[in-house]
């Protein structure tokens, strides 16, 4: 594990809930610094296997020299395809620890952090073409409004969207400082907090984080063996809601008010806990990043 790269959150809780079988095949969808993966490997025997996905090329340097590990430098939205390509049909458990790593924030030139001046980039996968600059320079006012409101909970999302569309006619929004200066007139409250929310929204959009999560969720019933567990850590209320609803209804369309439709559907996943697991006081003290982490676990029926 590389703690300078990222400190894993809810580590004991994830490992405990995955019920790891020594000879099983496990997937870590978000390898990062490899903190969770290392603990999974400790529980695996000689014949166990771990498939580790990460779409950020930087994560590869943390992959241990261990024959049981297969690193897949791809978006986890292609989970089933890359498992198949490697001769794997079904797995015994899966983890996704969503969002970005501390490493991605700390590398100023990647453009994730408001602390540095750098290009408005924010791509986790640098093979992708769409950057944060493309979003702020090409999206319509309505699209910007929606994403700042939904993904950033920015209080004056509409005003911010209107300002961006106005300012970009005359000013370059190519860099973080350029962007911050361009919208400085509409910042509300603490600027650090405000820009953190704005950047979170842009990051989620650039990396299509909600789209990737939905695609991952619908593949779970297909790739998990009966009895296999899935653990997902989210850091945003929209993500948590998607996971909660999918674990409960095995679909995104059903609501609690519609038990009738549920009874007609084959149940493939069952939530293990009603409430999400959150960080202990001890972990909160050690790692403030664990503050907004929510872990949900489900089992393949």
Ligand X SMILES: C[S@@+](CC[C@H](N)C(=O)[O-])C[C@H]1O[C@@H](n2cnc3c(N)ncnc32)[C@H](O)[C@@H]1O
Contact positions toward ligand X, by CB under 6 A? 6, 8, 30, 32-36, 53-56, 59, 75-77, 97, 99-101, 124, 212
Rounded to a whole number of angstroms, the minimum distance from the CB of residue 292 to ligand X is: 12
User: Is 76 annotated to bind ligand?
Assistant: yes
Rounded to a whole number of angstroms, the minimum distance from the CB of residue 266 to ligand X is: 27
Residue showing tokens 């640098």: 126
What is the spatial distance between Cα 299 and Cα 18, in angstroms, rounded to a whole number? 9
User: Is 24 annotated to bind ligand?
Assistant: no
User: Is 12 annotated to bind ligand?
Assistant: no
In the complex with ligand X, which residue's Cβ is closer, 103 or 248? 103
In the complex with ligand X, which residue's Cβ is closer, 161 or 231? 231
116-120: which pairs have CB atoms within 8 A and are 24 or more residues apart? Answer: 116/176, 117/175, 117/176, 117/177, 118/175, 118/176, 119/174, 119/175, 119/176, 120/173, 120/174, 120/175, 120/176, 120/178, 120/179, 120/202
In the complex with ligand X, which residue's Cβ is closer, 137 or 292? 292
- For residue 19, give Cα distances in angstroms to 44, 223, 230, 244, 280: 11, 17, 10, 20, 20
User: Is 35 annotated to bind ligand?
Assistant: yes
Rounded to a whole number of angstroms, the minimum distance from the CB of residue 235 to ligand X is: 8
User: Is 33 annotated to bind ligand?
Assistant: no
Buried/exposed code over 137-153 (b: 16+ C-beta within 10 A; e: otherwise): eebeeeebbbbbbbbbe
Rounded to a whole number of angstroms, the minimum distance from the CB of residue 215 to ligand X is: 9
In the complex with ligand X, which residue's Cβ is closer, 122 or 224? 122
User: Is 106 annotated to bind ligand?
Assistant: no
In the complex with ligand X, which residue's Cβ is closer, 4 or 181? 4
User: Is 104 annotated to bind ligand?
Assistant: yes
In the complex with ligand X, which residue's Cβ is closer, 182 or 209? 209
Could you report how far apart the first and last alpha carbons of the chain are, in Å?
32
Q: In what order do the strands lie in the sheet with 294-300?
A: 69-72, 49-53, 25-28, 91-97, 224-234, 294-300, 269-271
Q: Write out the binding residues.
A: 34-36, 54, 76, 97, 104
Q: Which residues are annotated as a binding site for S-adenosyl-L-methionine?
A: 34-36, 54, 76, 97, 104
């Amino acid at each position: 594990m590389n703690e300078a790269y990222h400190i894993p959150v809810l580590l004991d809780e994830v490992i405990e809930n995955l019920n790891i079988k020594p000879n099983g095949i496990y997937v870590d969808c978000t390898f990062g610094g490899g903190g969770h993966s290392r603990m999974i490997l400790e529980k695996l025997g000689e014949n166990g296997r771990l498939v580790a996905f990460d779409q950020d090329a930087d994560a590869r340097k943390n992959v241990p020299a261990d024959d049981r590990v297969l690193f897949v430098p791809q978006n986890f939205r292609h989970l089933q395809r890359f498992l198949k390509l490697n001769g794997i049909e079904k797995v015994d458990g899966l983890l996704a620890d969503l969002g970005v790593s501390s490493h991605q924030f700390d590398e100023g030139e990647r453009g994730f952090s408001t602390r540095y001046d750098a290009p408005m980039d924010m791509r986790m996968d640098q093979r992708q073409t769409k950057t944060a600059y493309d979003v702020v320079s090409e999206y319509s006012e309505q699209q910007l409004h929606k994403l700042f409101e939904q993904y950033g909970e920015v209080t004056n999302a509409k005003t911010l969207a209107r300002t961006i569309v106005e300012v970009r006619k005359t000013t370059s929004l190519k860099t973080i400082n350029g962007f911050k200066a361009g919208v400085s007139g509409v910042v509300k409250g603490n600027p650090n907090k405000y820009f953190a929310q704005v950047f979170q929204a842009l990051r989620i959009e650039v990396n299509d984080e909600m789209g990737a999560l939905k695609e991952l969720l619908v593949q779970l019933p297909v790739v998990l063996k009966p009895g296999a567990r899935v653990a997902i850590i989210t850091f945003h209320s929209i993500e948590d809601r998607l996971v909660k609803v999918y674990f409960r209804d095995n679909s995104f369309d059903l609501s609690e008010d519609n038990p009738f439709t549920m009874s007609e559907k084959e149940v493939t996943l069952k939530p293990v806990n009603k409430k999400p697991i959150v960080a202990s006081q001890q972990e909160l003290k050690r790692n403030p990043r664990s503050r907004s982490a929510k872990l949900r676990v489900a089992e393949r029926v």
